[in-house]
Amino acid sequence: MKLALVGATGLVGREMIEVLEERQIKIDEFIPVASERSVGKIVVLNGKDYTIHSMQGAIDKAPDFALFSAGGSISLEFAPQFAAVGTTVIDNSSAWRMHPDKKLIVPEVNGHELTAEDKIIANPNCSTIQLVMALKPLHEAYNIKRLVISTYQSFSGTGAKAVDQYNTEAKGDTESEYPMAYHYPIFENCLPHCDVFLDNDYTKEEMKLVHETRKIMKAPSMRVTATAVRVPVHAGHSESINIEFEQPFEIDEAKKLLKNQKGLILQDDIKNNIYPMPKYARKKDEVFVGRVRRDESIENGLNIWVVADNLRKGAATNAVQILQALI
């Protein structure tokens, strides 16, 4: 199997290498790709050195699969070029997610939709992936009518520049000039501003939650509203999710559905202070769910708290799981 990794030196690219190693994906030829300034440098996979290729050099090798984590504009330009030489592209950017002809896949939720004919497959937004993982068994049982989502998202979701900003601020070096990923400090702060603001006063991240959730769940009329907040956490997104169902439910049955969902771990023992936290989700591939309780203010309402490592299940792991499903 010939595999290209576009964006091999980035945060998610490096995480993808770790996941490929951990899952022991058999790769006969590995083709790391990065920016022109990185061409010729070395990337290590399974203890072996691989030279970074240019984009065209990788396309010329016609790999079987290409994992993309290099930004939307790169994906829009080069994913079709890979597809044209027979490569199946799994793209981690937002470029293809809402394209009507491209599938948006979380393997445990809608992996059955994949076919050999799919040449460009979209990996959902990190916050969407963990959301739909928790929603799937509940929606199948009770039919979701409305969602109110509040996210608490790690700064690593913004990229290396945000990590550098936090580390600089944590050292107390706030007086010097340094590249700012955000409009304000992230250290000891919360920013209700993920991605850019749109004409409706929501951010792009908030609307991703709306549109991507509807697409994956095949529920175009599902009512969804979101507020996305960037928090001073190195890795791991947390979500407070308020759900209104069409059908009545029993709380113990809802917990059982969550417990039995593949890829989910139920952590809901409040007597012993057990609930999901991003600190303990780091480097884990599962999605963690807890604080499961009835919303007493509405009929058929439920509150849950969902946590996952945004670089793992929220990006690298989900992409590699798609690769595994295709293999």
Token pair 């340094």 is found at: 178
Indicate the DSSP class of residue 119: -
Active site residue 237: yes
Q: How far is the C-alpha of 169 from the C-alpha of 50, rounded, in Å?
A: 35
Please enumerate in sequence order all residues whose Cβ is within 8 A of that of 201, keeping only pairs 6 or more positions apart, or say none.
Answer: none
Is 194 considered catalytic here? Answer: no
Which residue is it, tokens 């809802």? 254
The DSSP bridge pattern shows strands 264-266 and 287-295 to be: parallel
Q: Could you tell me if 264 and 134 are in contact, meaning their C-beta atoms sit under 8 angstroms apart? A: yes
Distance, in Å, from the CA atom of 98 to the CA atom of 94, rounded to the nearest integer, reads: 8
The Cα–Cα gap between 6 and 39 comes to: 12
CA 75 to chain CA centroid, Å, is 16
Q: Which of 53, 139, 194, 237 is catalytic?
A: 237
Which of 53, 99, 126, 234 is catalytic? The answer is: 126
Residues that are catalytic: 126, 237
